Amino acid sequence: MSGDVAALLDGVRVCVVGGSGGVGKTTTSAALAAGMAARGLKVAVVTIDPAQRLATALGLDELGNEPRRIEPERFAAAGLALGDGELWAMTLDPKRTFDELIARLSPDDDTRERILRNRVYRELSDAIAGSQEFTAVAKLHELTREGGWDLLVLDTPPSRNALDFLDAPDRLRAFFEGRALQTLLRGGGAGLRLLGRGTGLVLGLLRRVTGAELLSDLSDFFRLLGGLLGGFRARAAEVEELLRAPDTTFLLVTSPEREPIDEALFFQRRLRAAGMALCGAIVNRVHVDELGGEDGALDELPERLEQAAGLSPALARGVAAAFADEHALARRDAANVARLRARLGAAIPLVHVPLLDEDVHDVAGLVRLGAELFHTAA
Ligand SMILES: Nc1ncnc2c1ncn2[C@@H]1O[C@H](COP(=O)(O)OP(=O)(O)OP(=O)(O)O)[C@@H](O)[C@H]1O
Ligand SMILES: [Mg+2]
């Protein structure tokens, strides 16, 4: 049984869309946001999409680091009336978000400028911001503080490990406390782990900028950031609170293949351990079995195609072979989804979305995907 995504989001104010790489998180986030806007809500979707595929899908050249309203006419033309609802969209600019966070935490303009100009900060913030998980939650938090949104949908980055996202507040805290850098400077391996993917950049900096200049930049960095620590700790605590709030929920997206499903199940365990809510899972790009799941029908298919559709024997065999391939994929998908169903537990609803015959590259595509998510397909 496949559910409807609107029911899952009833009363939700923040929805974080997570899942393995390439399963359709960004596309689903946008279709979901549009569908909820069509239900009269003021919705913002924050995507993490360096390739700007969402901007392209929405027919915009570029989305910036602040939500921008999408003209309702674009959706009306594709058959989705937004009515009183509003759809806003942005793509996260991690570096800018990080600088904004520093600016907000700085007690005065002078401190802000000195930090933003500090070379150690610049290299490190590039490295940290490069792990978009950190900045995504910071931006989300800022948008909830601004208020005015009925629903915020947050897409998550195409990371090797989708779960990095859950550690974001902790990692940021480590950054601000200077723990990672301090340990690194003392030559400890823990610093390398804390900095994660940023390590190479830090080591590069230490090699490039040496001597007295580096020492003064470093001591400035620790002193200035140390001054922001209290404010940052309070923020990090608020961010964690936001992720655990009763009206915040996670929604998993997976394809019907084994590995993304395993990752989704792992994600579910991590969420549970972290005390965060999961409202459902979307199984995207499911192959639909045109034969109604009957193996027997395949044997007679070439003959039936010849007789009923008047195809030549060769063509009938070709068409039947294509049906057989789809049938096999649909069976494989069904088996994987059954396993997901059993392992997720009955309390987590599944929404099935079929593989559409083409990529979602425009508003019409988003509307089609939305129709599947919201079960409004004709
Ligand atoms: N149901 C669907 N049918 C057909 N194509 C789809 C469907 N859902 C998504 N796609 C396509 O699959 C591709 C990947 O989708 P998307 O970029 O949303 O995935 P993602 O999970 O955000 O990827 P990444 O992890 O790289 O950020 C896109 O080209 C998109 O148009
Ligand atoms: Mg994406």
Residue nearest to atom 18 of ligand 1 (CA): 24
Beta bridge partners of 87: 43
Three-state DSSP state, 350 = strand
Å from CA of 235 to ligand 2 middle? 26
Q: Which ligand is nearest to the CA of 21?
A: 1
Q: Which ligand is nearest to the CA of 56?
A: 1
Give the mean pLDDT of 281-306.
Answer: 82
The b-or-e profile of 134-166 (16+ CB within 10 A means b, else e) is bbbbbbbbebbeeeebbbbbbbbbbbeebbbbb
As for ligand 1, residues whose beta carbon falls within 6 Å of it are 21-27, 53, 158, 284-285, 353, 355-356, 359-360, 369
Give the mean pLDDT of 295-315.
Answer: 82
Residue nearest to atom 23 of ligand 1 (CA): 22
Three-state SS string across 194-237, please? HHHHHHHHHHHHHHHCCHHHHHHHHHHHHHHHHHHHHHHHHHHH
Q: Relative to the CA of 361, which ligand 1 atom is closest?
A: 31
What is the pLDDT, as a whole number, of residue 184? Answer: 55
Query: Could you give the CA distance from residue 349 to residue 375 in angstroms, rounded to a whole number?
Result: 14
Q: Which ligand is nearest to the CA of 160?
A: 1
Of 5, 17, 20, 26, the one to substitute when testing ligand 1's pocket (max ligand atoms within 8 A of C-beta) is 26
What is the pLDDT, as a whole number, of residue 73? Answer: 95
Among 16-25, 93-102, 369-378, which stretch is predicted with the lowest mean pLDDT?
Answer: 369-378
Q: Which ligand is nearest to the CA of 371?
A: 1
Å from CA of 23 to ligand 1 middle? 6
Give the mean pLDDT of 184-199.
Answer: 50
Among 21-35, 195-209, 260-274, 313-327, which stretch is predicted with the lowest mean pLDDT?
Answer: 195-209
pTM of the predicted model, to two decimals?
Answer: 0.86
Q: Relative to the CA of 158, which ligand 1 atom is closest?
A: 25
Q: Which of 241, 236, 47, 239 is nearest to 141 (CA)?
A: 239
The b-or-e profile of 63-76 (16+ CB within 10 A means b, else e) is bebebbebebebbe
CB 279 within 8 A of CB 250: yes
Å from CA of 50 to ligand 2 middle? 8
Please enumerate in sequence order all residues whose Cβ is within 8 A of that of 295, keeping only pairs 6 or more positions apart, or say none: 327
| pLDDT 10s digits, 25-35 | 999 999 999 99
Residue nearest to atom 5 of ligand 1 (CA): 359
CB 308 within 8 A of CB 281: no
pLDDT tier, 349 (very low <50, low <70, confident <90, very high otherwise):
very high
Beta bridge partners of 46: 90, 154
Q: What is the mean pLDDT of the chain?
A: 84
What is the pLDDT, as a whole number, of residue 378? Answer: 35
Residue 367 has pLDDT above 90, yes or no: yes
Å from CA of 163 to ligand 2 middle? 15
Higher pLDDT: 189 or 220? It is 220
Å from CA of 189 to ligand 2 middle? 32
Q: Which of 132, 90, 136, 236 is nearest to 177 (CA)?
A: 236
